Amino acid sequence: MAADLVRRLLAGERRALARALTHVENQSAAGYEVLRLLYPHTGRAHTIGITGGAGAGKSTLTNALAKEYRRRGKTVGIIAVDPSSPFSRGAILGDRIRMQELTGDPGVFMRSMATRGSLGGLSETAADAVAVMDAFGKDVVLLETVGAGQDEVEVASAAQTTILVLTPGTGDDVQTMKAGIMEIADLLVVNKSDLPNTDALIAALKAHLTMSEHGAWLIPILRVVANKEQGIAQLVEQLDAHHSYLHRSGALQSERQEQARHQVVAAVQGEVLRRILRQGASLLDDLTQQVAERRTDPHSAAERLLAAVSGELS
Amino acid sequence: MAADLVRRLLAGERRALARALTHVENQSAAGYEVLRLLYPHTGRAHTIGITGGAGAGKSTLTNALAKEYRRRGKTVGIIAVDPSSPFSRGAILGDRIRMQELTGDPGVFMRSMATRGSLGGLSETAADAVAVMDAFGKDVVLLETVGAGQDEVEVASAAQTTILVLTPGTGDDVQTMKAGIMEIADLLVVNKSDLPNTDALIAALKAHLTMSEHGAWLIPILRVVANKEQGIAQLVEQLDAHHSYLHRSGALQSERQEQARHQVVAAVQGEVLRRILRQGASLLDDLTQQVAERRTDPHSAAERLLAAVSGELS
């Protein structure tokens, strides 16, 4: 069944793509089989992470980028990830609204993923979804995250190129510099750059970049007004330049190594958790009770749980 | 050695407390032995998580709270956690500055923990440090986090009572509501409430609370000026009220269950990772290479890694 699904996906069938993404998002056995079969076909897309504070206009920028890439004849996959809250259903709503705008263009495929709670491994699932879009043959995969915390940094790190979106006058600049999020950005985009204080923000960003360490890639700062589609063509040119740089410099290779290591470790941890929930659920309940009552400690409980499910683990 | 350390810690020796925290933070075998021996002595402290955006004044509030609790004859442990950036060393610097202010009072013990990178399990280590302070006999343990992302939410969830610190005029309110962080707060503190826009922020918070679901506990909104120590006594009274509520309602019991489950799962994942790095490091390197070259996928690699180290896992 997975083999048939993958065959249809590789033949360009959108329904097969949709179904494969659902299997992968559900972390089902079929999803892992699909990934195993697809993986040799991945590694061709330019994957671009888009992160930044709430209200920075990431969705609008993502849509504008998708349209610009389409104008240039590239096919586009969009994965919108909302790791911020177990309560938010914003991603789903936004999805519907945005689907309307992009509907009818078979060159764009969008999927949004809401949070799966603390046990989920959202960055693992996001990376898997990127792989599926990549194998399907999308030239560009845009991975957009909500919010700007450490989880979003994790998710964005599943992409080759990372855009950090800032807006003038929100205090984003200071918060972002403090939080170390700027260190992961390959391009800085000042969105809503028709607002006052744009020059001050850009000056602050330049000053910060001057103080930071760089590699051979000089991080560009781009002025954009995403909802008027201003500055988008220049942004795409810089994205292409970064993609060329990654290939030329060998950075793509080392980034791939790092991502691969991260993904293997995340997959191990996810797999152990699934096995425990499948085979050791009642023991987990017992041990949880014992820890709550201070009759044992979490680490001793973990050792016992691992010992008990180790037959299953082998 | 661990037994002797624990004996001295339980006898109230500060040097033993410092050493135990170091072992626990290093995730060493001695650290886990210390935790195992200490665990039956935990569960007495009121543990309070303090979270909020950068610049909200969390450190200042934490210090003011520590002083107020000392005035009331309570002993205090402070754990300052900085998960925001692998680049920041702010926690270490802040620690030194703050140690000076609180130095000489044997009733306060402070420890700051910097980030350990993405493989670390910082919330696991923070929870362990809370347990050590608790076993030492601290009446109150303040767990302060830097930033306001999902990691901080994780860390703060290791506490019984969570304070969310906001400041007027920073746009914090909107960002925080969007990010779902308000949902984890038991108390809302508006710090720097001598600034303009305080009333507007409080009105927005009230409106948001009215729309949200509550349990039996009505989330109070407190005006504080932490650097002038205004409103701190009222805050401590509300913290005591929340502690009583947790005991009275049975919520403490269910919260303990939930925390215990979370800690056991985190400990399992941390332990698996340590075993792989100890026993399967070269296989991990091999598999990482294969995934980077698309010769295998992360999940198949994870299965092989688990199979290979399963002797060690049992």
Q: How far is CA A118 from each of CA A100, A287, B274, rounded to the nearest angstrom? A: 31, 19, 21
The type of residue at B176 is T
Residues of A in contact with B284 (CB under 8 A): 261, 264-265
The residues, any chain, with a CB within 8 Å of residue B7's CB and separated by 6 or more, are none
Report the candidate in B313, B300, B308, B312 with the shortest Cα–Cα distance to residue B283.
B308
- Per-residue pLDDT band at B274 (split at 50, 70, 90): confident
d(CA B115, CA B87): 9
Whether residues B302 and A268 touch (CB distance < 8 A) is answered with yes
The helix (run of H) or strand (run of E) holding residue B163 is: strand B161-166
Minimal Cβ distance to A151: which of B38, B151, B276:
B151
Distances (CA, A) of B70 to B73, B108, B165: 5, 8, 21
Question: How do A108-114 and A76-82 pair as beta strands?
Answer: parallel
Compute the 3-state secondary structure of chain B and give helix, strand, coil in percent, each to the nearest 5: 60, 15, 25
Give 3-state DSSP helix, strand, coil % of chain A, rounded to 5: 60, 15, 25
C-beta atoms of A302 and B268 within 8 A? yes
Nearest Cα residue to B179 out of A176, A261, A90, A220: A90
Average pLDDT over chain B reads: 82
How much is the pTM?
Answer: 0.68
Q: What count of other Cβ atoms lies within 10 Å of the Cβ of residue A127?
A: 27
**Chain centroid, CA B301 distance in Å:** 33
pLDDT of residue A93: 46
User: Which residue shows structure tokens 């195992």?
Assistant: B36
Q: Is the pLDDT of residue B276 over 70?
A: yes
CB-CB contact of A44 with A155 (8 Å): no
Secondary structure of residue B167 in the 3-state scheme? coil
Question: Is ipTM > 0.95 here?
Answer: no
A13-42 as b/e: b if 16+ CB within 10 A = eeebbebbbebbbebeebbbbbbbbbbebb
Which is the CATH superfamily of the domain at A43-249?
P-loop containing nucleotide triphosphate hydrolases (3.40.50.300)
Copy the structure tokens of residue A187.
Answer: 């391009």
Predicted confidence (pLDDT) at residue B63 exceeds the cutoff of 60: yes
Interface test with B, best of A38, A150, A152, A285 (most B CBs within 10 A): A150
Residues in B closer than 8 angstroms to A42, CB to CB, are 294
Chain B residues whose beta carbon lies within 8 Å of the beta carbon of residue A246: none
Inform me whether the pLDDT recorded for B17 exceeds 90.
yes
User: Of A44 and B171, which is predicted with more confidence?
Assistant: A44
Q: Considering only residues 276 to 295 of chain A, which have any Cβ-Cβ distance to chain B shorter than 8 Å?
A: 276, 284, 287-289, 291-292, 294-295
Touching B: A residues 124-153, CB under 8 Å? 124, 127-128, 131, 147-152
Domain spanning B42-251: which superfamily? P-loop containing nucleotide triphosphate hydrolases (3.40.50.300)
Locate the domains of chain A by residue range: 1-41, 43-249, 264-313
Q: What is the pLDDT along chain A (314 residues), one digit of tens a residue?
A: 899 999 999 999 999 999 999 998 887 889 989 999 999 999 899 999 998 876 788 889 999 999 999 999 999 999 988 655 443 334 444 444 555 556 578 899 988 886 554 344 667 788 899 999 999 999 999 998 865 555 666 676 788 999 989 888 766 555 555 555 677 789 999 999 999 889 988 988 888 787 665 567 889 999 999 999 999 999 999 999 999 999 999 888 888 888 888 888 888 888 888 888 888 889 999 999 999 888 999 889 998 998 887 765 54
Sole residue written with tokens 């046990």 = A119
Going along chain A, which residue ranges are E strands? 46-52, 76-82, 108-114, 140-145, 161-166, 187-190, 221-223
CA nearest neighbour of B113 among B103, B104, B105, B124: B124
Q: How far is A308 from chain B (nearest CA, A)?
A: 7
Q: Is the Cβ of A310 closer than 8 Å to some Cβ of chain B?
A: yes
